[in-house]
Amino acid sequence: MTHTAGPESRIADALTGVRHVFVRDLAIKAVLGIHEHEKLKPQRVVINIDLSVRERGGPLDDNIANVVSYEKVVDHIKEIVGRGHVNLVETLAEMIAGRCLENPWVLGVRVRIEKPDIIAEAASVGIEIERLRQN
């Protein structure tokens, strides 16, 4: 979100009223993968989310209803993962990004999903996507 022009592509920008909401290293169990052993039991995945969020312009009034809640973002991720098996990490990332973009204040989302226990010689493997609001 930092490599293209326009306020919707910035993580945080005071001039355009964009704030950065993020979740770092959310470690959860997911039934994810194309191999038979991956379909049988959950494996550990690590998820990172970056949201570009339009500020509402008014006072926050110290009220959670006036911001995009990272707790709700985590709840949505858990709900999506809890639906059951997904073959591709890419599919899971798209599902998470789409859910985040349902919030009208979210301008853009970056989703990174890592599978840390798949390749012994690697700390982790995975993917990262970025999606922007289309309207």
- 51 membership: H or E segment, kind and range: strand 43-54
pTM of the model: 0.87
Q: How confident is the model at residue 135 (pLDDT cuts 50, 70, 90)?
A: confident
Going from the C-alpha of 104 to that of each of 18, 21, 67, 84, the distances in angstroms are 13, 14, 11, 27
Residue 67 or 127, more confident? 127
At residue 10, the pLDDT reads 58
| DSSP structural state of residue 109 | E
Over residues 89-117, the pLDDT tens digits come to 999 999 999 999 999 999 999 999 999 99
* Percent residues over pLDDT 70 in the chain: 87
Q: Which fold has domain 7-132?
A: GTP Cyclohydrolase I, domain 2 (3.30.1130)
At residue 126, the pLDDT reads 97
| 27 contact partners, CB below 8 Å, separation of at least 6 | 44, 45, 46
Please, what is the average pLDDT of the chain? 89
Residue 44: count of CB within 10 angstroms of its CB? 15
Q: Which two tokens stand for residue 36?
A: 């038979």
Over residues 15-34, the pLDDT tens digits come to 888 999 999 999 999 999 99
The Cα–Cα gap between 38 and 34 comes to 7
